[in-house]
Amino acid sequence: MWLLVEQLLNGLQLGFMLFLLSAGLTLVFGVMNLINLAHGSFYMVGAYVAATLSGAGMGYGVALLGALAAAGLCGLLVELIVLRHLYRRDHLDQVLATFGLILFFNEGVRMIWGRQPLFMQTPAWLGGSVELLPGVPYPLYRLAIIGIGLLVALGLYLLIARTRLGMRIRAGASDRQMIAALGVNIRWLYTLVFALGALMAGFAGVIAAPVFAVESGMGESILILTFVVIVIGGIGSVRGALLGALLVGLVDSLGRAYLPRLLGLLSDSEAANALAASLSSMSIYLLMALVLAIRPRGLFPA
């Protein structure tokens, strides 16, 4: 029984982790109508810089700030140099350009930091576990991820839905020229939003660094998951991203936790084991296909 609760928590936690990345992506994609495959690269940059700084003996705060600055700066430069020219282009042009950026960033990171993964320590004050349930310690760090995810979700929602900045961003998404004709400096606005998205990706990277391997290419596997999340949730809505992320997190975690056992009940063979493994690998894709088959525009289309 407690195990189920713990697995649910695991699912939530994974979901919030995914949300941190999806939020930036959905901001850039849903709001600016820009497909940015290089989102995962900012995540990677964030993780690398944080790991480097904390490896050099700086505190977690310094590492966090440094990573955010680096990721934001990368975003800024990428927008200024490349993406700025692509807003009015076909989505596929953006796909190709940002694919090129992925190659560039991955190899660049390899050239700077070498091929081996980096290490980042969990900040001491988030190190231990708390006994949420009798006999089941839960890592404090993972709880913190849940909390941070909630805060970010709230902040982002307020920004987009409640502020004038958010309004302008959304207006620009549908008619860039018109919002400019109303006196809004849309170029800088977009640069800003993009940098913000990159910053959030970098933030996710910092959060992930102590939990996951910090290595070149760490962005792509999670990027696909992130796209799955925002597509399930419905593009461009922060609410959708949040729910999509939680759904994916839960399905993935619970699938991994319980599918083998369920299938084991049916037959206790190698085959059942293998089937469970491949089914749980597929689970989120099954989920996505199912959701889209029923609701072709995702759960909460903006």
Partner 1 sequence: AQPVKIGMITTLTTKAGYLGEDIRDGFRLAIEQEGGTLGGVPVELLVEDDGRKPGKGRQIADRFIRKDGVRIMTGIVFSNVALAVAPKVVRQGVFYISPNAGPSKLAGKGCDPNFFNAAWQNDNLHEVMGQYVQDAGYKSAYILAPNYPAGKDALAGFKRYYKGRIVGEVYTKLGQSDYAAELANLRAAKPEAVFFFLPGGMGINFLKQYQQAGLAERIPVFGPAFSFDARILKAVGDAAVGVKNGSQWNWDLDNPANRRFVAAFREKYGRMPTLYASQGYDTARLIGSALKATGGKPEDQDAFRKALEQADFESVRGAFRFNRNHFPIQDLYVREVVKDDDGIRNVTLKKVFSDHGDAYADQCRM
Partner 2 sequence: MLTVTGLQAGYGDSEVLHGVDLELREGEVAALLGRNGMGKTTTLHCICGLVRPRAGIIDFDGQSLQHLPEWRIARLGVGLVPEGRRIFPNLSVEENLRVAAAHHSEQAQPWTLERVHALFPRLRERRRHAGNQLSGGEQQMLAIGRALMTNPRLLVLDEATEGLAPLIRDEIWAVIEGLKAQGQSILIVDKNLGRLLPLADRYVLMEKGCVVSAGAADDLLRDHELQARYLGV
Partner 3 sequence: MLRGPSALRLRVLLGGGLLLLLVWPWISALFGGDYLVSVMTRVLIFAIAAISLDLIVGYGALVSFGHAAFLGLGAYVAAISAFHASEGLPLAFGFSGSESLLVNLPLAMAVAALVACVTGLICLRTQGIHFIMITLAFAQMLYYLFVSLDAYGGEDGLVLPARNSLPLLDTADDRQFYFLCLGLLLLYLYLAHRLVNSRFGRVLRGSRANETRMRALGYNTYGYRLAAYVIAATGAPLAGVLLASKTEFVDPGLFSWQLSGELLVMVILGGMGSLYGAVIGAAAFLLLEQWLAAWTEHWMFFLGPFLVLVVVRARHGLWGVLTGNGQ
Place of tokens 């037959």: 267
The item of partner 2, partner 3, partner 1, none sharing an interface with residue 44, based on CB under 5 to 8 Å by kind, is none
Question: What SS3 state is found at 130?
Answer: strand
C-alpha distances in Å from residue 127, one per residue of 17, 48, 138? 18, 20, 11
Q: Amino acid identity of 288?
A: M
**Closest approach of partner 2 to the CB of residue 97, in Å:** 23
Q: Amino acid identity of 216?
A: S
Q: Segment contacting partner 2 (CB under 8 A): 125-133, 178-186, 212-220, 277-285?
A: 178-186
Question: What SS3 state is found at 131?
Answer: strand
Q: Which one, 89 or 285, has the nearer CB to partner 1?
A: 285
Phi, psi of 8 (to 5 degrees): -60, -45
Query: At 138, which helix (H) or strand (E)?
Result: strand 136-139
Residue from 29, 43, 48, 141 that binds partner 1 (CB under 8 A)?
A: 141
CA–CA dist 68, 256 (Å, integer): 33
Residue from 205, 260, 263, 302 that binds partner 1 (CB under 8 A)?
A: 260
Q: Show contacts with partner 2 in window 179-238 (CB under 8 A).
A: 179-187
**Closest approach of partner 3 to the CB of residue 243, in Å:** 16
**Is 204 within 8 Å of 20 (Cβ atoms)?**
yes
Per-residue contact string for residues 188-227; x = within reach of partner 1 by CB under 8 A = ----------------------xxxxxxxxx--xx-----
| 171 touches partner 3 (CB under 8 A) | no
Q: Would you state the structure tokens that stand for residue 120, as one six-digit string? A: 């980042």
Per-residue contact string for residues 27-66; x = within reach of partner 3 by CB under 8 A = --x-----x-------------------------------
The residues binding partner 2 (CB under 8 A) are: 164, 167-168, 170-171, 173-175, 177-187, 302
